[in-house]
Chains A and B, each alone.
Chain A
């Protein structure tokens, strides 16, 4: 009961802050939204890499699926959403919830497709498989004209003859059209509502007896299996829930940036999310959230020193790993006993 009360009051708090969010300087507002999106991404990867101990290196791939699918729906089917739900605050909210879930569920389905065969692999092998998957997604999007291919996607042209496209084809230049750009649905409320949701999702799940199955899988698969834990099932659940939230984060990102490009979801994005999880401390929720905040703000702070920015950023990561290899809030575990 206390748990649900806290959850609802957090959502109300997010809602109230959102009422005053209009006064925030747009630059800070943008950073704030990216912080929220990065918290969702890092926490969802923490579920896979931190709690369940599976090394996934393809989180940007799931984010890409969520972003592209929900943005495609919100542009190609814009007339449908406008006709059905209208364009008031309430109608937009319903449209956006549907679009977010389209992104999340699509990413989750991709998670099942990738996860079921590849979660039998361990460590480096799983990392390489997931990395390969994310690259496939990116390359496929890069060659899909329907979402703008490598030029990126900013909206859909709906022609009078019923044709739909992301770019105006050469032979259609004389046909009248309506351009539906990506609607700017993402705001402080939606972003941080999902931050609250994922925090409660993970803490509720991990504090339950059922959730101990994930931690058991991380520590010792053989022992977990012998105690009746279906390790494959737990790995798939973690992987698919992680993918789901990455899809949501992608949908939030797309409807904030209003322009998505396959390069937004490249290998470096996946690495960035993994760095947040490792820096925060594998399996520590508070640590990962703080790392996500720091790693979003840090590059902004370093803007003043222009070209040396990324060197210092990398240097800070190296120093951090030397001083606290277990991460900001990670627990220093005793070395595994050998016999």
Chain B
């Protein structure tokens, strides 16, 4: 059974069909890419999975349970985390505090313990602190942990977003155009980073990306969307040679 199962999912905004009867899945420990021209509905699929939108038809199952009725924070609680196409870091918080927010959902100390600093408060804070430092160390961000997250260079902000998503201990990580705005060196670095994340944290990844080099380089399976419909699915080799995909990206061939 797959980790994530998208069944006949449709999303309509008024008369516009953004996602049209999409059927697909993401298996355990799988790295799946989702590509398609602008406006193909990729981010909408992410928003459906994370509970931002309720699909107008069909269902999305995560570990055999529907995520459709869940609110975004409940989706995060059951183990789906995401990054954003336009970086959404907390601008008034440091790198470390940005990541600390991901622990809010799992903190045992509630309102009262956090107010009075009683019980296991200090012990738990220390544990969180250590976990944050450990994560930052893996991504080479330990030196900048006390800086405002939004003051970092673009590539590092993307990294902080990935760390923040990982800090919620997800089983499925959704990356929305992680390579957007990166230079070729940063992209190469990102590719090895994504592979490392998948192996080290043993999670499944669903990735939206425009950069073919990145997608072809890391993904095991690729889903191609065009106008909300799935037009192809398969491994990178198959996708590269699929006439429908070429048509969607390069336009119709004239005879």
Contact = CB atoms under 8 A, between A and B. Distances in A.
Contacts of B128: 209
A222 B114 CA distance: 24
B82 A226 contact: yes
- In this complex, the member of A231, A333, A339 whose beta carbon has the largest number of chain B beta carbons within 10 angstroms is A339
Interface string B117-131: 100010011001000
Contacts of B89: 220, 223
Contact of B90 (A205, A216, A237): A216
Contacts of A231: 73
Contacts of A208: 109, 114-115, 117, 121, 125
A331 B103 contact: no
Interface in A248-274: none
Interface string B1-20: 00000000000000000000
Contacts of B167: 227
Interface in A115-142: none
B110 interface: yes
Nearest to B169: A228
A168 interface: no
Contacts of B164: 227
Contacts of B151: 334
Interface residues of B, number: 47
B104 A215 contact: no
Interface string B42-85: 00000000101000000000000000000111011100011010
A210 B109 contact: yes
A222 B89 CA distance: 10
A228 B91 CA distance: 18
Interface in A174-233: 201, 204-205, 208-213, 215-216, 218-220, 222-231
Given A209-B100, A210-B114, A219-B93, 15 more contacts: A3-B117, A205-B115, A208-B114, A208-B121, A209-B124, A209-B125, A210-B104, A220-B91, A222-B84, A227-B164, A227-B165, A228-B168, A229-B105, A333-B92, A334-B148
16 contacts: A204-B115, A204-B116, A205-B111, A208-B121, A213-B104, A216-B101, A222-B88, A225-B72, A225-B73, A225-B76, A226-B73, A226-B81, A226-B84, A227-B76, A227-B102, A231-B73
